[in-house]
Chains A and B, each alone.
Chain A
Amino acid sequence: AQKVTQAQTEISVVEKEDVTLDCVYETRDTTYYLFWYKQPPSGELVFLIRRNSFDEQNEISGRYSWNFQKSTSSFNFTITASQVVDSAVYFCALSESRGSTLGRLYFGRGTQLTVWP
């Protein structure tokens, strides 16, 4: 069965602090995709990153970085020098790849990040 766990329901930090959002997943498939989405108060789900199961390279994009470790089935997201605008709910999600067949997107419950000035 597929499952995504975001154990942190809420995190509060002060601006300029670094913060890591945890994501642990379960899947029986050997080929799958992992995603992070940001949902600000406006409600739109903003795509942040997609990672293939066969690509374990960590990625950095500005203040954002992602640490993918297949050995621990984790795909953690770190924001460096957080800003008030980073305040949002962050969702981790898993999709299985089945060639030309659509794979469903399984969401975690989300982590509410609040960055205080």
Chain B
Amino acid sequence: DAMVIQNPRYQVTQFGKPVTLSCSQTLNHNVMYWYQQKSSQAPKLLFHYYDKDFNNEADTPDNFQSRRPNTSFCFLDIRSPGLGDAAMYLCATSSTHGQGKETQYFGPGTRLLVL
């Protein structure tokens, strides 16, 4: 089945220790997104890739970076995690073509704990 996969599902890191979260998709969608979701809140968009073009949200901290080496994979790098970065990180994909365009499909998420 076509899907969005996130690894790991749970990640524990230490304060200030860089961490990378990964996302892959088999949907062949040209747009990939990273969201941060804290407890009892709606997902907050951090950035997205439209094909190879990177689009950062204005209020996304510099501590958060992303890489998209190819269509299928996208990574979220947190350079120096703080306690406030503990959250669920959701990856999503969408296509700008076709009948179901612009529908975002989400992965299962990675829960990040910062100690």
Name the CB-closest residue of A to B106.
A45
Look across to chain A and name the residue whose beta carbon is closest to the beta carbon of B53.
A102
Of the residues B31, B42, B48, contact of A107 by C-beta under 8 Å: B42
User: Considering the chains assembled together, what is the distance between the CA atoms of A43 and B102 in angstroms?
Assistant: 21
Q: Which of B15-23, B77-85, B107-115 contacts A (4 or more CB under 8 A)?
A: B107-115
**Cβ-closest chain B residue relative to A42:** B108
Secondary structure class of chain A's binding surface, majority of residues: loop
Which interface class (under 10, 10 to 19, 20 to 34, 35 or more) fits B? 20 to 34
Known: A37-B106, A105-B104. A43 touches B96 (CB 8 A): no
Interface size class of A (residues with CB under 8 A): 20 to 34
Which has the most chain B C-beta neighbours within 10 Å: A37, A44, A108? A44
- A residues contacting B by CB (< 8 A) are 33, 35, 37, 42-47, 50, 91, 95, 97, 100, 102-105, 107-110
